[in-house]
Chains A and B, each alone.
Chain A
Protein backbone atom coordinates (compact mmCIF):
# COMPACT_ATOMS: atom_id res chain seq x y z
CA UNK A 1 0.00 0.00 0.00
CA UNK A 2 2.83 2.37 0.91
CA UNK A 3 4.47 1.98 -2.44
CA UNK A 4 1.13 2.53 -4.13
CA UNK A 5 0.80 5.92 -2.45
CA UNK A 6 4.36 6.79 -3.38
CA UNK A 7 3.60 5.71 -6.91
CA UNK A 8 0.60 8.05 -6.85
CA UNK A 9 2.83 11.07 -6.22
CA UNK A 10 5.27 10.05 -8.92
CA UNK A 11 2.46 9.36 -11.42
CA UNK A 12 0.79 12.65 -10.57
CA UNK A 13 4.05 14.48 -11.29
CA UNK A 14 4.62 12.70 -14.62
CA UNK A 15 0.98 13.20 -15.50
CA UNK A 16 1.34 16.92 -14.87
CA UNK A 17 4.29 17.09 -17.28
CA UNK A 18 2.33 15.16 -19.94
CA UNK A 19 -0.62 17.45 -19.27
CA UNK A 20 1.55 20.53 -19.83
CA UNK A 21 2.81 19.09 -23.11
CA UNK A 22 -0.78 18.32 -24.15
CA UNK A 23 -1.70 21.90 -23.21
CA UNK A 24 1.15 23.21 -25.38
CA UNK A 25 -0.25 21.25 -28.33
CA UNK A 26 -3.77 22.39 -27.52
CA UNK A 27 -3.01 26.12 -27.29
CA UNK A 28 -1.59 26.03 -30.83
CA UNK A 29 -4.02 23.47 -32.27
CA UNK A 30 -7.29 24.99 -31.11
CA UNK A 31 -7.24 28.30 -32.99
CA UNK A 32 -4.98 27.26 -35.88
CA UNK A 33 -5.74 23.54 -36.55
CA UNK A 34 -1.97 23.03 -36.67
CA UNK A 35 -0.41 20.11 -34.78
CA UNK A 36 2.99 21.37 -33.78
CA UNK A 37 5.35 18.46 -33.09
CA UNK A 38 8.23 20.89 -32.53
CA UNK A 39 7.00 21.49 -28.97
CA UNK A 40 9.06 18.48 -27.83
CA UNK A 41 12.20 20.32 -28.93
CA UNK A 42 10.88 23.51 -27.42
CA UNK A 43 10.58 21.79 -24.04
CA UNK A 44 14.22 20.66 -24.36
CA UNK A 45 15.15 24.24 -25.24
CA UNK A 46 13.28 25.40 -22.14
CA UNK A 47 15.25 22.96 -20.01
CA UNK A 48 18.56 24.24 -21.41
CA UNK A 49 17.65 27.90 -21.02
CA UNK A 50 16.62 27.22 -17.42
CA UNK A 51 19.75 25.22 -16.64
CA UNK A 52 21.84 27.99 -18.16
CA UNK A 53 20.24 30.50 -15.84
CA UNK A 54 20.73 28.27 -12.80
CA UNK A 55 24.28 26.97 -13.22
CA UNK A 56 27.58 28.15 -14.55
CA UNK A 57 27.88 25.10 -16.80
CA UNK A 58 25.93 26.39 -19.73
CA UNK A 59 24.95 29.44 -21.68
CA UNK A 60 23.44 31.88 -20.68
CA UNK A 61 25.78 31.88 -17.67
CA UNK A 62 24.05 33.36 -14.72
CA UNK A 63 23.57 31.81 -11.30
CA UNK A 64 20.19 33.30 -10.63
CA UNK A 65 17.30 32.44 -8.35
CA UNK A 66 14.82 29.83 -9.61
CA UNK A 67 12.00 32.27 -10.24
CA UNK A 68 14.28 34.12 -12.66
CA UNK A 69 14.91 30.87 -14.54
CA UNK A 70 11.16 30.33 -14.86
CA UNK A 71 10.63 33.88 -16.13
CA UNK A 72 13.54 33.52 -18.57
CA UNK A 73 12.16 30.24 -19.95
CA UNK A 74 8.69 31.72 -20.45
CA UNK A 75 10.02 34.88 -22.11
CA UNK A 76 12.69 33.25 -24.31
CA UNK A 77 10.46 30.40 -25.46
CA UNK A 78 7.55 32.77 -26.00
CA UNK A 79 9.73 34.88 -28.29
CA UNK A 80 11.04 31.79 -30.09
CA UNK A 81 7.51 30.48 -30.66
CA UNK A 82 6.43 33.88 -31.93
CA UNK A 83 9.44 34.07 -34.28
CA UNK A 84 8.86 30.56 -35.62
CA UNK A 85 5.25 31.44 -36.41
CA UNK A 86 6.36 34.61 -38.20
CA UNK A 87 9.07 32.89 -40.23
CA UNK A 88 7.54 29.51 -41.12
CA UNK A 89 3.79 29.37 -40.55
CA UNK A 90 2.63 32.83 -41.59
CA UNK A 91 4.29 32.90 -45.02
CA UNK A 92 2.66 29.54 -45.81
CA UNK A 93 -0.79 30.63 -44.68
CA UNK A 94 -0.45 33.89 -46.58
CA UNK A 95 0.22 31.93 -49.75
CA UNK A 96 -2.90 29.87 -49.16
CA UNK A 97 -1.06 26.61 -48.41
CA UNK A 98 -2.96 23.56 -47.16
CA UNK A 99 -3.06 23.06 -43.39
CA UNK A 100 -0.63 20.14 -43.67
CA UNK A 101 2.13 22.44 -45.00
CA UNK A 102 2.78 24.26 -41.69
CA UNK A 103 2.79 20.88 -39.90
CA UNK A 104 5.55 19.62 -42.20
CA UNK A 105 7.44 22.92 -41.99
CA UNK A 106 7.33 22.64 -38.19
CA UNK A 107 8.89 19.17 -38.43
CA UNK A 108 11.77 20.95 -40.15
CA UNK A 109 11.83 23.47 -37.30
CA UNK A 110 12.03 20.50 -34.92
CA UNK A 111 15.23 19.27 -36.58
CA UNK A 112 16.74 22.77 -36.58
CA UNK A 113 16.08 23.17 -32.86
CA UNK A 114 17.46 19.74 -31.97
CA UNK A 115 20.66 20.25 -33.94
CA UNK A 116 21.09 23.78 -32.60
CA UNK A 117 20.85 22.44 -29.05
CA UNK A 118 23.68 19.95 -29.65
CA UNK A 119 25.75 22.71 -31.27
CA UNK A 120 25.26 25.14 -28.40
CA UNK A 121 25.16 22.81 -25.39
CA UNK A 122 26.85 19.65 -26.65
CA UNK A 123 25.49 16.13 -26.72
CA UNK A 124 26.08 15.30 -23.06
CA UNK A 125 23.24 15.67 -20.54
CA UNK A 126 23.51 18.70 -18.27
CA UNK A 127 22.40 18.26 -14.66
CA UNK A 128 19.57 20.54 -13.66
CA UNK A 129 19.39 21.62 -10.00
CA UNK A 130 15.91 21.24 -8.49
CA UNK A 131 14.67 24.41 -6.73
CA UNK A 132 14.17 22.69 -3.37
CA UNK A 133 17.13 20.32 -3.48
CA UNK A 134 16.88 16.55 -3.37
CA UNK A 135 14.81 16.43 -0.18
CA UNK A 136 12.13 13.85 0.35
CA UNK A 137 8.81 15.27 1.37
CA UNK A 138 6.01 13.44 3.17
CA UNK A 139 2.50 14.82 3.30
CA UNK A 140 0.47 12.34 5.34
CA UNK A 141 0.81 8.99 3.63
CA UNK A 142 1.95 10.60 0.37
CA UNK A 143 5.69 10.80 -0.09
CA UNK A 144 7.97 11.80 -2.93
CA UNK A 145 10.83 13.96 -4.10
CA UNK A 146 10.43 17.69 -3.51
CA UNK A 147 10.63 18.23 -7.27
CA UNK A 148 7.57 16.03 -7.79
CA UNK A 149 5.50 18.16 -5.44
CA UNK A 150 6.92 21.29 -7.09
CA UNK A 151 5.85 20.01 -10.53
CA UNK A 152 2.34 19.27 -9.30
CA UNK A 153 1.96 22.69 -7.66
CA UNK A 154 3.27 24.67 -10.65
CA UNK A 155 1.22 22.66 -13.14
CA UNK A 156 -2.04 22.99 -11.23
CA UNK A 157 -1.53 26.76 -10.84
CA UNK A 158 -0.71 27.12 -14.53
CA UNK A 159 -3.76 25.13 -15.59
CA UNK A 160 -5.92 27.30 -13.33
CA UNK A 161 -4.49 30.44 -14.96
CA UNK A 162 -4.95 29.13 -18.50
CA UNK A 163 -8.48 27.98 -17.68
CA UNK A 164 -9.29 31.46 -16.34
CA UNK A 165 -7.81 33.02 -19.46
CA UNK A 166 -9.97 30.93 -21.80
CA UNK A 167 -13.18 31.07 -19.78
CA UNK A 168 -13.11 34.50 -18.20
CA UNK A 169 -11.25 36.95 -20.48
CA UNK A 170 -12.29 38.49 -23.77
CA UNK A 171 -9.05 37.40 -25.42
CA UNK A 172 -9.65 33.84 -24.26
CA UNK A 173 -13.13 33.99 -25.76
CA UNK A 174 -11.60 35.38 -28.95
CA UNK A 175 -9.22 32.38 -29.15
CA UNK A 176 -12.16 30.03 -28.74
CA UNK A 177 -14.20 32.01 -31.28
CA UNK A 178 -11.41 31.56 -33.84
CA UNK A 179 -11.48 27.81 -33.10
CA UNK A 180 -15.25 27.65 -33.58
CA UNK A 181 -15.53 29.75 -36.73
CA UNK A 182 -12.51 31.52 -38.23
CA UNK A 183 -14.51 33.61 -40.65
CA UNK A 184 -17.05 34.85 -38.13
CA UNK A 185 -14.17 35.64 -35.77
CA UNK A 186 -12.49 37.75 -38.45
CA UNK A 187 -15.79 39.58 -39.00
CA UNK A 188 -15.77 40.48 -35.28
CA UNK A 189 -12.58 42.41 -35.82
CA UNK A 190 -10.40 39.71 -34.26
CA UNK A 191 -6.91 39.83 -35.76
CA UNK A 192 -6.38 36.21 -36.86
CA UNK A 193 -2.66 36.74 -37.44
CA UNK A 194 -2.21 38.03 -33.91
CA UNK A 195 -4.18 35.13 -32.42
CA UNK A 196 -1.99 32.66 -34.35
CA UNK A 197 1.23 34.36 -33.21
CA UNK A 198 0.04 34.47 -29.59
CA UNK A 199 -0.97 30.80 -29.78
CA UNK A 200 2.54 29.81 -30.87
CA UNK A 201 4.16 32.03 -28.23
CA UNK A 202 1.90 30.62 -25.50
CA UNK A 203 2.34 27.02 -26.63
CA UNK A 204 6.13 27.41 -26.72
CA UNK A 205 6.20 29.01 -23.25
CA UNK A 206 4.16 26.17 -21.74
CA UNK A 207 6.32 23.54 -23.46
CA UNK A 208 9.49 25.26 -22.25
CA UNK A 209 8.18 25.34 -18.70
CA UNK A 210 7.38 21.60 -18.91
CA UNK A 211 10.96 20.95 -20.02
CA UNK A 212 12.39 22.99 -17.16
CA UNK A 213 10.19 21.20 -14.60
CA UNK A 214 11.13 17.79 -16.02
CA UNK A 215 14.88 18.44 -16.30
CA UNK A 216 15.92 17.72 -12.66
CA UNK A 217 14.64 14.13 -13.07
CA UNK A 218 16.18 13.42 -16.49
CA UNK A 219 18.87 16.12 -16.89
CA UNK A 220 18.68 18.57 -19.76
CA UNK A 221 19.42 16.58 -22.87
CA UNK A 222 18.99 17.29 -26.55
CA UNK A 223 16.96 14.09 -27.01
CA UNK A 224 14.59 14.73 -24.10
CA UNK A 225 11.99 16.33 -26.36
CA UNK A 226 10.94 13.30 -28.37
CA UNK A 227 9.39 11.20 -25.57
CA UNK A 228 7.72 14.34 -24.18
CA UNK A 229 6.25 15.13 -27.58
CA UNK A 230 4.85 11.60 -27.89
CA UNK A 231 3.50 11.44 -24.36
CA UNK A 232 1.98 14.89 -24.65
CA UNK A 233 0.31 14.00 -27.93
CA UNK A 234 -1.10 10.81 -26.39
CA UNK A 235 -2.38 12.79 -23.41
CA UNK A 236 -4.02 15.23 -25.82
CA UNK A 237 -5.78 12.43 -27.72
CA UNK A 238 -6.95 10.78 -24.48
CA UNK A 239 -8.26 14.00 -22.95
CA UNK A 240 -9.77 15.41 -26.12
CA UNK A 241 -8.48 18.17 -28.36
CA UNK A 242 -11.03 20.74 -27.29
CA UNK A 243 -10.68 21.67 -23.66
CA UNK A 244 -7.97 22.78 -21.27
CA UNK A 245 -9.12 20.44 -18.50
CA UNK A 246 -8.99 17.53 -20.96
CA UNK A 247 -5.24 18.01 -21.45
CA UNK A 248 -4.58 17.59 -17.71
CA UNK A 249 -6.96 14.65 -17.41
CA UNK A 250 -5.34 12.91 -20.40
CA UNK A 251 -1.86 13.46 -18.96
CA UNK A 252 -2.82 12.03 -15.58
CA UNK A 253 -4.54 8.96 -17.08
CA UNK A 254 -1.52 8.22 -19.27
CA UNK A 255 0.93 8.56 -16.38
CA UNK A 256 -1.12 6.34 -14.07
CA UNK A 257 -1.51 3.63 -16.71
CA UNK A 258 2.24 3.77 -17.43
CA UNK A 259 3.41 3.63 -13.83
CA UNK A 260 0.82 1.23 -12.42
CA UNK A 261 1.34 -1.00 -15.44
CA UNK A 262 5.10 -1.01 -15.01
CA UNK A 263 4.73 -1.78 -11.29
CA UNK A 264 1.98 -4.39 -11.23
CA UNK A 265 1.81 -6.01 -14.67
CA UNK A 266 4.21 -8.91 -15.29
CA UNK A 267 5.94 -7.43 -18.34
CA UNK A 268 9.58 -6.49 -18.93
CA UNK A 269 10.28 -2.87 -18.02
CA UNK A 270 11.54 -2.06 -21.51
CA UNK A 271 8.04 -2.59 -22.85
CA UNK A 272 6.52 0.16 -20.71
CA UNK A 273 7.54 2.57 -23.46
CA UNK A 274 4.78 0.94 -25.50
CA UNK A 275 2.06 2.17 -23.15
CA UNK A 276 1.56 5.59 -24.71
CA UNK A 277 1.39 4.06 -28.18
CA UNK A 278 -1.06 1.37 -27.07
CA UNK A 279 -3.30 3.99 -25.46
CA UNK A 280 -2.94 6.27 -28.47
CA UNK A 281 -4.10 3.52 -30.86
CA UNK A 282 -6.89 2.48 -28.51
CA UNK A 283 -8.29 6.00 -28.25
CA UNK A 284 -7.91 6.83 -31.92
CA UNK A 285 -9.88 3.66 -32.73
CA UNK A 286 -12.55 3.78 -30.05
CA UNK A 287 -12.93 7.39 -28.97
CA UNK A 288 -11.21 9.80 -31.39
CA UNK A 289 -12.83 12.85 -29.75
CA UNK A 290 -11.14 12.03 -26.43
CA UNK A 291 -12.81 11.97 -23.05
CA UNK A 292 -13.87 15.63 -22.98
CA UNK A 293 -15.40 16.60 -26.29
CA UNK A 294 -14.77 20.06 -27.76
CA UNK A 295 -17.56 22.61 -27.96
CA UNK A 296 -19.69 22.17 -31.04
CA UNK A 297 -19.73 25.03 -33.51
CA UNK A 298 -23.53 24.87 -33.80
Chain B
Protein backbone atom coordinates (compact mmCIF):
# COMPACT_ATOMS: atom_id res chain seq x y z
CA UNK B 1 0.00 0.00 0.00
CA UNK B 2 2.57 2.57 1.17
CA UNK B 3 6.26 2.06 0.53
CA UNK B 4 8.94 4.55 1.44
CA UNK B 5 12.49 3.75 0.42
CA UNK B 6 15.60 5.44 1.78
CA UNK B 7 13.86 8.74 2.52
CA UNK B 8 16.25 11.56 3.47
CA UNK B 9 15.41 15.13 4.19
CA UNK B 10 14.92 17.78 6.84
CA UNK B 11 14.24 21.41 7.55
CA UNK B 12 16.80 24.00 6.52
CA UNK B 13 20.37 22.77 6.15
CA UNK B 14 20.76 19.48 8.00
CA UNK B 15 18.92 16.23 7.37
CA UNK B 16 16.66 14.92 10.09
CA UNK B 17 15.86 11.70 8.24
CA UNK B 18 18.73 9.44 7.18
CA UNK B 19 17.57 6.92 4.60
CA UNK B 20 14.35 5.82 6.26
CA UNK B 21 12.51 2.89 4.68
CA UNK B 22 9.11 1.71 5.83
CA UNK B 23 6.39 -0.39 4.28
CA UNK B 24 2.74 -0.63 5.22
CA UNK B 25 0.72 -3.40 3.61
CA UNK B 26 -2.87 -3.22 2.43
CA UNK B 27 -5.27 -3.27 5.40
CA UNK B 28 -2.40 -3.42 7.86
CA UNK B 29 -2.09 -1.33 11.03
CA UNK B 30 1.49 -0.35 11.76
CA UNK B 31 2.95 1.71 14.58
CA UNK B 32 5.91 4.07 14.37
CA UNK B 33 7.49 4.24 17.82
CA UNK B 34 10.26 6.41 19.11
CA UNK B 35 11.13 9.05 21.68
CA UNK B 36 10.76 12.80 21.26
CA UNK B 37 13.00 14.17 18.55
CA UNK B 38 13.46 10.85 16.77
CA UNK B 39 12.14 12.35 13.54
CA UNK B 40 8.72 10.69 13.51
CA UNK B 41 6.81 13.87 12.67
CA UNK B 42 9.44 14.83 10.13
CA UNK B 43 8.88 11.46 8.46
CA UNK B 44 5.11 12.14 8.40
CA UNK B 45 5.82 15.49 6.74
CA UNK B 46 8.11 13.80 4.21
CA UNK B 47 5.49 11.12 3.44
CA UNK B 48 2.84 13.78 2.78
CA UNK B 49 5.19 16.02 0.76
CA UNK B 50 4.75 18.94 3.16
CA UNK B 51 8.51 18.67 3.65
CA UNK B 52 10.67 18.50 0.54
CA UNK B 53 12.51 15.17 0.40
CA UNK B 54 16.17 15.33 -0.57
CA UNK B 55 16.20 11.76 -1.76
CA UNK B 56 14.17 8.58 -1.62
CA UNK B 57 11.28 6.92 -3.36
CA UNK B 58 7.64 6.98 -2.28
CA UNK B 59 5.14 4.50 -3.67
CA UNK B 60 1.40 4.49 -3.05
CA UNK B 61 -0.63 1.45 -4.14
CA UNK B 62 2.21 0.45 -6.47
CA UNK B 63 2.51 3.84 -8.20
CA UNK B 64 5.62 5.97 -7.86
CA UNK B 65 4.42 9.21 -6.26
CA UNK B 66 7.85 10.58 -5.32
CA UNK B 67 7.25 13.79 -7.29
CA UNK B 68 3.59 14.27 -6.33
CA UNK B 69 2.65 17.41 -4.36
CA UNK B 70 0.63 17.17 -1.14
CA UNK B 71 -2.75 17.81 -2.70
CA UNK B 72 -2.20 15.09 -5.30
CA UNK B 73 -1.26 12.61 -2.57
CA UNK B 74 -4.48 13.44 -0.71
CA UNK B 75 -6.45 12.94 -3.92
CA UNK B 76 -4.86 9.51 -4.39
CA UNK B 77 -5.89 8.30 -0.95
CA UNK B 78 -3.24 9.32 1.58
CA UNK B 79 -4.40 11.41 4.55
CA UNK B 80 -2.53 12.63 7.63
CA UNK B 81 -3.90 13.64 11.01
CA UNK B 82 -1.05 15.99 11.88
CA UNK B 83 0.66 16.37 15.24
CA UNK B 84 -1.11 18.93 17.40
CA UNK B 85 -4.36 18.49 15.42
CA UNK B 86 -3.93 21.69 13.33
CA UNK B 87 -7.66 22.23 12.99
CA UNK B 88 -8.89 25.56 11.62
CA UNK B 89 -9.93 27.00 14.98
CA UNK B 90 -11.98 30.01 13.79
CA UNK B 91 -14.10 27.88 11.45
CA UNK B 92 -17.12 25.81 12.39
CA UNK B 93 -16.85 22.04 12.77
CA UNK B 94 -18.80 21.62 9.53
CA UNK B 95 -16.47 23.99 7.61
CA UNK B 96 -13.44 22.10 8.91
CA UNK B 97 -14.91 18.83 7.69
CA UNK B 98 -15.89 20.39 4.36
CA UNK B 99 -12.30 21.54 3.81
CA UNK B 100 -11.17 17.99 4.49
CA UNK B 101 -13.12 16.97 1.39
CA UNK B 102 -11.41 19.49 -0.93
CA UNK B 103 -9.80 16.66 -2.89
CA UNK B 104 -13.08 14.78 -3.16
CA UNK B 105 -15.05 15.06 -6.38
CA UNK B 106 -18.82 14.83 -6.51
CA UNK B 107 -21.62 16.11 -4.33
CA UNK B 108 -23.26 12.79 -3.51
CA UNK B 109 -20.03 11.38 -2.11
CA UNK B 110 -19.68 14.55 0.00
CA UNK B 111 -22.95 13.85 1.80
CA UNK B 112 -21.86 10.25 2.23
CA UNK B 113 -18.55 11.35 3.81
CA UNK B 114 -20.34 13.66 6.27
CA UNK B 115 -22.61 10.77 7.24
CA UNK B 116 -19.67 8.44 7.66
CA UNK B 117 -17.74 10.84 9.93
CA UNK B 118 -20.81 11.83 11.97
CA UNK B 119 -21.63 8.14 12.50
CA UNK B 120 -18.08 7.50 13.70
CA UNK B 121 -17.99 10.56 15.99
CA UNK B 122 -21.60 11.53 16.86
CA UNK B 123 -20.30 14.42 18.96
CA UNK B 124 -19.13 16.18 15.83
CA UNK B 125 -22.67 16.08 14.47
CA UNK B 126 -23.96 17.68 17.67
CA UNK B 127 -21.36 20.41 17.43
CA UNK B 128 -21.47 20.94 13.66
CA UNK B 129 -22.11 24.69 13.90
CA UNK B 130 -19.76 25.34 16.80
CA UNK B 131 -16.45 27.15 16.45
CA UNK B 132 -13.88 24.34 16.27
CA UNK B 133 -11.40 26.12 18.54
CA UNK B 134 -13.98 26.28 21.34
CA UNK B 135 -14.22 22.49 21.68
CA UNK B 136 -12.37 20.29 24.17
CA UNK B 137 -9.04 18.73 23.23
CA UNK B 138 -10.64 15.32 22.72
CA UNK B 139 -13.34 16.71 20.46
CA UNK B 140 -10.75 18.64 18.48
CA UNK B 141 -8.82 15.40 17.97
CA UNK B 142 -11.98 13.68 16.77
CA UNK B 143 -12.47 16.59 14.38
CA UNK B 144 -8.88 16.28 13.12
CA UNK B 145 -9.42 12.56 12.43
CA UNK B 146 -12.86 13.16 10.92
CA UNK B 147 -11.47 15.90 8.70
CA UNK B 148 -8.78 13.55 7.39
CA UNK B 149 -11.42 10.88 6.69
CA UNK B 150 -13.45 13.33 4.57
CA UNK B 151 -11.09 12.80 1.62
CA UNK B 152 -11.97 9.07 1.60
CA UNK B 153 -8.41 7.91 2.26
CA UNK B 154 -7.22 4.36 1.71
CA UNK B 155 -4.36 4.89 4.15
CA UNK B 156 -4.56 7.11 7.21
CA UNK B 157 -1.46 8.41 8.98
CA UNK B 158 -1.97 9.57 12.57
CA UNK B 159 0.74 11.59 14.31
CA UNK B 160 0.44 11.14 18.10
CA UNK B 161 -3.34 11.55 18.15
CA UNK B 162 -3.62 10.56 21.82
CA UNK B 163 -1.23 13.14 23.24
CA UNK B 164 -2.68 14.84 26.32
CA UNK B 165 -6.10 13.18 26.12
CA UNK B 166 -8.10 11.63 28.97
CA UNK B 167 -8.18 7.80 29.06
CA UNK B 168 -11.91 7.76 28.31
CA UNK B 169 -11.38 9.79 25.11
CA UNK B 170 -8.41 7.62 24.15
CA UNK B 171 -10.67 4.55 24.40
CA UNK B 172 -13.32 6.25 22.28
CA UNK B 173 -10.80 7.07 19.56
CA UNK B 174 -9.25 3.59 19.72
CA UNK B 175 -12.73 2.12 19.21
CA UNK B 176 -13.22 4.36 16.18
CA UNK B 177 -9.85 3.29 14.75
CA UNK B 178 -10.79 -0.38 15.24
CA UNK B 179 -14.02 0.23 13.30
CA UNK B 180 -12.09 1.92 10.50
CA UNK B 181 -9.68 -0.99 10.33
CA UNK B 182 -12.55 -3.44 10.15
CA UNK B 183 -13.76 -1.50 7.11
CA UNK B 184 -10.40 -2.05 5.47
CA UNK B 185 -8.61 1.25 6.15
CA UNK B 186 -4.83 0.97 6.36
CA UNK B 187 -3.28 2.72 9.38
CA UNK B 188 0.13 4.11 10.26
CA UNK B 189 0.13 5.32 13.85
CA UNK B 190 2.91 7.45 15.34
CA UNK B 191 3.02 6.87 19.08
CA UNK B 192 5.39 7.12 22.01
CA UNK B 193 3.58 4.77 24.38
CA UNK B 194 3.83 1.06 23.63
CA UNK B 195 0.56 -0.02 25.36
CA UNK B 196 -1.50 2.27 23.11
CA UNK B 197 0.37 1.19 19.98
CA UNK B 198 -0.19 -2.44 21.00
CA UNK B 199 -3.94 -2.02 21.29
CA UNK B 200 -4.29 -0.47 17.83
CA UNK B 201 -1.60 -2.06 15.65
CA UNK B 202 0.04 -5.40 14.93
CA UNK B 203 3.51 -4.42 13.73
CA UNK B 204 5.88 -1.63 14.68
CA UNK B 205 8.92 0.28 13.55
CA UNK B 206 11.14 1.91 16.15
CA UNK B 207 12.81 5.13 15.10
CA UNK B 208 15.79 6.78 16.74
CA UNK B 209 17.73 9.83 15.59
CA UNK B 210 16.22 9.79 12.12
CA UNK B 211 16.77 6.09 11.45
CA UNK B 212 14.66 2.97 11.73
CA UNK B 213 16.51 0.85 14.30
CA UNK B 214 14.04 -1.99 14.79
CA UNK B 215 11.09 -3.62 13.09
CA UNK B 216 9.05 -6.15 15.05
CA UNK B 217 5.62 -7.55 15.74
CA UNK B 218 3.89 -5.67 18.52
CA UNK B 219 3.56 -8.74 20.72
CA UNK B 220 7.25 -9.49 20.46
CA UNK B 221 8.00 -5.90 21.38
CA UNK B 222 5.71 -6.09 24.38
CA UNK B 223 7.79 -8.92 25.78
CA UNK B 224 10.92 -6.77 25.66
CA UNK B 225 10.52 -5.03 29.02
CA UNK B 226 9.70 -1.33 29.16
CA UNK B 227 9.74 0.66 25.94
CA UNK B 228 11.80 3.47 27.44
CA UNK B 229 14.48 0.96 28.40
CA UNK B 230 14.22 -0.26 24.84
CA UNK B 231 14.82 3.21 23.39
CA UNK B 232 17.69 3.55 25.80
CA UNK B 233 19.38 0.26 24.96
CA UNK B 234 18.86 0.76 21.23
CA UNK B 235 20.35 4.24 21.45
CA UNK B 236 23.41 2.85 23.24
CA UNK B 237 24.32 0.47 20.43
CA UNK B 238 25.06 1.50 16.85
CA UNK B 239 22.03 1.31 14.57
CA UNK B 240 21.37 -2.04 12.92
CA UNK B 241 20.87 -1.78 9.22
Seen from chain A, the residues whose Cβ lies within 8 Å of a Cβ on chain B are 96, 170, 173-174, 176-177, 180-181, 183-193, 295-298
- Contact present for A188 and B95 (CB under 8 Å): no
When C-beta atoms are compared, the residue in chain A nearest to B51 turns out to be A183
- Residues of A contacting B45 with CB < 8 Å? 183
Least CB distance from B98 to A in Å reads 6
Nearest 8 Cβ contacts at the A-B interface: A189-B103, A189-B74, A186-B70, A184-B86, A295-B90, A189-B102, A191-B71, A189-B71
- Contact present for B89 and A188 (CB under 8 Å): no
Of B75-83, B114-122, B161-169, B186-194, the stretch lying at the interface with chain A is: B75-83
Least CB distance from A226 to B in Å reads 36
Q: Pick the contact of A181 from B75, B79, B88, B104 — CB < 8 Å?
A: B88
- Residues of A contacting B91 with CB < 8 Å? 173, 176-177
- Contact present for A190 and B102 (CB under 8 Å): yes
- Residues of B contacting A190 with CB < 8 Å? 71, 99, 102
- Residues of A contacting B101 with CB < 8 Å? 189
| Assembled-state Cα–Cα distance A181/B80 (Å) | 15
- Residues of A contacting B87 with CB < 8 Å? 184
- Residues of B contacting A191 with CB < 8 Å? 69, 71
- The answer to whether residues A173 and B89 also contact, given A187-B50, A187-B70, A188-B147 and a CB cut-off of 8 A, is no
- Contact present for B98 and A187 (CB under 8 Å): no
Q: Is B100 an interface residue, CB under 8 A from the partner?
A: yes
- The answer to whether residues A177 and B88 also contact, given A186-B50, A188-B147, A190-B102 and a CB cut-off of 8 A, is yes
Q: Pick the contact of A296 from B48, B89, B147 — CB < 8 Å?
A: B89
Q: Which of A176, A189, A190, A193 neighbours the largest number of chain B CB atoms within 10 Å of its CB?
A: A189
Seen from chain B, the residues whose Cβ lies within 8 Å of a Cβ on chain A are 45, 48-50, 52, 69-71, 74-75, 79-80, 82, 86-91, 95, 98-104, 133, 147-148, 151
Using A183-B45, A183-B86, A188-B103 as known contacts, list a sample of 14 further A-B pairs with CB atoms less than 8 Å apart, ordered by residue number in A.
A173-B91, A177-B91, A180-B90, A184-B88, A186-B48, A186-B50, A187-B80, A187-B148, A188-B100, A188-B147, A189-B74, A192-B69, A193-B69, A297-B89
| Assembled-state Cα–Cα distance A176/B102 (Å) | 13
Least CB distance from B142 to A in Å reads 16
Q: Pick the contact of A189 from B52, B86, B89, B151 — CB < 8 Å?
A: B151
| Assembled-state Cα–Cα distance A186/B98 (Å) | 14
- Contact present for A188 and B99 (CB under 8 Å): yes
- Residues of A contacting B148 with CB < 8 Å? 187
- Contact present for B95 and A187 (CB under 8 Å): no
| Assembled-state Cα–Cα distance A5/B157 (Å) | 62
| Assembled-state Cα–Cα distance A189/B73 (Å) | 8
- Contact present for B86 and A177 (CB under 8 Å): no
- 16 A-B residue pairings within 8 Å (CB atoms): A96-B52, A174-B99, A177-B99, A181-B86, A184-B88, A186-B48, A186-B71, A187-B86, A189-B74, A189-B102, A190-B102, A192-B71, A296-B89, A297-B89, A298-B89, A298-B133
- Residues of B contacting A187 with CB < 8 Å? 48, 50, 70, 74, 79-80, 82, 86, 148
- Residues of A contacting B71 with CB < 8 Å? 186, 189-192
- Contact present for A184 and B82 (CB under 8 Å): yes
- Contact present for A183 and B102 (CB under 8 Å): no
| Assembled-state Cα–Cα distance A184/B90 (Å) | 14
Least CB distance from B158 to A in Å reads 12
When C-beta atoms are compared, the residue in chain A nearest to B48 turns out to be A187
| Assembled-state Cα–Cα distance A48/B6 (Å) | 56
